[in-house]
A = this chain, B = another copy of it.
């Protein structure tokens, strides 16, 4: 359960943003935001005035929302005509334009005549990027669950098994360990299911997802992750999964191999580890994400691997890490354009990876908290290649 003090602190931070933007309050409509401010993910809308107490309007289920949320004012969702009264004369109200569909916006615009609805997506994403000590504990728990299937990898990874059978074994262990489902992704159309188990050339396939590695998937309708391709000997197997525990996402990758890897791939893997070490050392308050991206690029160039870094030659992703928290695609991104210095408590998945068409993918991924002495590892497991 989310403690009352967490909910109060989060509301107070957003209220300061609302005041600075001249807004009278915010309507939080998206499930992730409702959960963040209330501790419940029931079907509900949160009204947070710029000053004073929030009100949670619950469609389904009110008894469950009451049992889960420390908030004082939970009510049944009222008839639309009573909504202006709930907002008590507010004229300018914040909404997260990045996720709210047009038809939902139209409902609120009709229900609140004369009220101007303004976008608060960006400040709220920045607020959520900094995790409290309580949230970091949740992320540590999520990381511990995520390590379970990786620790057992030597017991079920076999040459000849299909990628999808490897995926099924990973997912079985994740669920048994308490994983709640697929990491939530905020981006429009960014379909995602739990993670990827991909090997050899299949791992180097191109697809829609905004990551360095996508895989073939099972059909054009689900073009991500494992395929029915059998896993060959002597090719890198990339296991790149997420955990979702108590709502919090962690993200990690390890490489396995049945047999041996080509020296070129071993060298690239060692380079990925060196990049990780360097970025972790720099992962302190004040570090600039775009500069960390530049540092990773420079190290890749020095190793002569720039054409394989973070994607296919000619088709590369332009980042080396991304925020995680309640969603998989949080801020900051370690990429050009992210020039705001990092803050203690931000959490990022660092994933230096190299793609070799025809051969496969090698690299490393762990989830880290930005801290005064560099990154704190939240996915606490050895980085070594799993050799069977």
Contacts and interface: CB of A to CB of B under 8 A. Distances in A.
B208 A180 contact: no
A64 B219 CA distance: 12
B175 A164 contact: yes
Interface string A197-218: 0000000011110100000011
A220 B67 CA distance: 10
Interface in A163-192: 164-165, 167-169, 171-172, 175-176, 178, 180-182, 184, 188-189, 191
A220 B1 contact: yes
Contact of A119 (B35, B103, B181, B210): B103
B182 A182 contact: yes
Of A43, A119, A121, most buried by chain B (CB within 10 Å of CB) is A43
Contact of A101 (B101, B222, B244, B246): B101
A360 B72 CA distance: 31
A102 interface: yes
Contacts of A41: 191, 208, 220-223
B171 A175 contact: yes
A151 interface: no
Interface stretch (A79-87, A92-100, A372-380): A92-100
28 contacts: A1-B220, A2-B220, A39-B220, A40-B223, A41-B220, A41-B221, A42-B207, A59-B208, A61-B208, A64-B205, A64-B207, A64-B208, A68-B223, A95-B102, A98-B102, A100-B101, A100-B102, A101-B102, A101-B188, A102-B102, A164-B175, A168-B176, A169-B172, A171-B172, A180-B217, A180-B221, A181-B193, A181-B194
